[in-house]
Amino acid sequence: MRSIAYKDCREKGKVRELYERSFPVEERMPFSVISREEEGRELRVWLEGEERIGLTYLYHYRDLSYLSYLCVEEDHQDEGYGSAILQEILREYPQQRIIVDIEKIDERAENMKERKRRREFYLRNGFCSDKISYYFYKVDYELLSAHGLIEEEDWKELMRKHWGEISRKAEVRKYQPKD
């Protein structure tokens, strides 16, 4: 398996469709933003041979790398590709603290099983809870990281750098996960 930069992908429309199918509209940044070629932004397409397997979007700032999006094509889910992609990112950035945000575990949520499964996936792949959560656009998130924990101020600074003024709408707080 290998990855290529989005700019080098021949099937840009298919990549955008994968992104839009994989994430609810309230959790998606505009595709024009994540596909922008700017320092720190990294949209990658993952391939097995020439077949598209998935995509990732990372935002790098200082010693932090925010893995904002990781998705695998539906017909390749549960084949180990998500873990393989994640492990490759962890190998590629050993000096970076890699951060993911996931929907907080909420027993009342309609997608509770999916939330638990996603959290278990990241924990299995070397991530742990930073005991920080944030509320943003009606969604409650928990932060997980690998290669070292992050502090609340690290996250706030990264958000300001990545999202700009809109980051002021996020309510960041300490969180005690129910493992």
What's the rounded Cα separation, in Å, for the pair 82 and 55? 10
Please name the amino acid found at residue 83: S
- The DSSP code sequence of 106-146 is -TT-TTHHHHHHHHHHHHHTT-EEEEEEEEETTEEEEEEEE
Q: Which of 120, 137, 141 is nearest to 66 (CA)?
A: 141
Q: Which DSSP category does 170 fall into?
A: -
| Tens-place pLDDT, residues 83-104 | 999 999 999 999 999 999 998 8
Task: Say if strands 97-103 and 64-72 run parallel, antiparallel, or are unpaired.
Answer: parallel
What's the rounded Cα separation, in Å, for the pair 56 and 85? 8
Q: CA distances (Å), 35 to each of 8, 95, 101, 148, 171, in order?
A: 11, 25, 20, 28, 26
What's the rounded Cα separation, in Å, for the pair 132 and 173? 6
CATH code of the domain occupying 2-174: 3.40.630.30
pLDDT tens by residue, the chain, 179 residues: 999 999 999 999 999 999 999 998 888 888 998 999 889 999 999 999 999 999 999 999 999 999 999 999 999 999 999 999 999 999 999 999 999 999 888 888 888 898 899 999 999 999 999 998 887 777 788 999 999 999 989 988 988 888 776 556 656 656 666 65
Where do the structural domains in the chain lie, given as residue ranges?
Answer: 2-174
